[in-house]
Amino acid sequence: MEKKRCNFNFGSRKNKVSEKFLLYHDTRWCKPEHEDKELFAMLILEGMQAGVSWDIILNKEDNFREAFDGFDPEVVAKYDDAKIEELMQNAGIIRNRRKIEAAIENAKAFLNVQKEFGTFDKYIWGFTDGTVIDHHLQDGNDMPAKNELSEKVSADLKKRGFKFVGATIVYSYMQGIGIINDHWEYCDYR
């Protein structure tokens, strides 16, 4: 018997989703992540996604990981103008100067949070005391674009110097790292 998945055929999404999107849905989306390097990677990928589809980001994810030195925040924090220009010439990623510069600023802010809290994991999961928020959605119309928690986290991230972390991006980020579980109630990948 075929497993049931969330139905993403709502809003502006087309009827077909890519295999990479399905793999992401099945193995990563709304699954708790606690490894700092991956928490940083997802933060940058979510920021890069602003204004484009998640399918595009997933199809370019390997290119992003290579271009951004495996999303090592210590390396990314040291990027200079020459590295920015190199990234701006890389057709395998989103070539948006503001987003690239934000990734560098976010790496610096990320390292500061690690210094203060020991790990970024302790910081970000501290907003829910380590608890996953499960909305038990019935369908896509129930899924908010943002909520009170994403607004609170967004405000705190901005205060700490993070960029491209509005409440909608942060909500998506929290889904991506498993703080929020928005799999449909009937989905076998909950």
User: Domain boundaries in the chain?
Assistant: 31-181
Specify the pLDDT at position 11. 45
Provide CATH code, domain 31-181.
Answer: 1.10.340.30
Which of 2, 19, 24, 61 is an active site residue?
A: 24
Which of 29, 38, 46, 74 is an active site residue?
A: 46
In this structure, are residues 152 and 127 in contact, taking their beta carbons and an 8 Å threshold? yes
Lowest mean pLDDT among 1-10, 48-57, 117-126, 179-188: 1-10
Active site residue 54: yes
Torsion sign over Cα 147, 150, 152, 158: negative
Torsion sign over Cα 65, 71, 75, 78: positive
Average pLDDT over residues 17-39: 94
Lowest mean pLDDT among 8-22, 43-57, 77-91, 146-160: 8-22
User: pTM score, two decimals?
Assistant: 0.94
DSSP 133: E
Residue 10: pLDDT over 70: no
Residue 12: pLDDT over 70: no
Q: What percent of the chain has pLDDT over 70?
A: 96
Specify the pLDDT at position 15. 54
Active site residue 125: no
Round to whole Å and give the CA distance between 173 and 50: 11
Round to whole Å and give the CA distance between 8 and 5: 9
In this structure, are residues 103 and 155 in contact, taking their beta carbons and an 8 Å threshold? no
In this structure, are residues 20 and 58 in contact, taking their beta carbons and an 8 Å threshold? yes
Average pLDDT over residues 25-29: 95
Per residue in 79-138, pLDDT (tens digit) is: 999 999 999 999 999 999 999 999 999 999 999 999 999 999 999 999 999 999 999 998
53 versus 35: the higher-pLDDT residue is: 35
Specify the pLDDT at position 9. 61
Active site residue 173: no
CA distances (Å), origin 143, targets 40, 47, 139, 171: 24, 20, 7, 10
DSSP 128: T
Which of 29, 54, 123, 184 is an active site residue?
A: 54
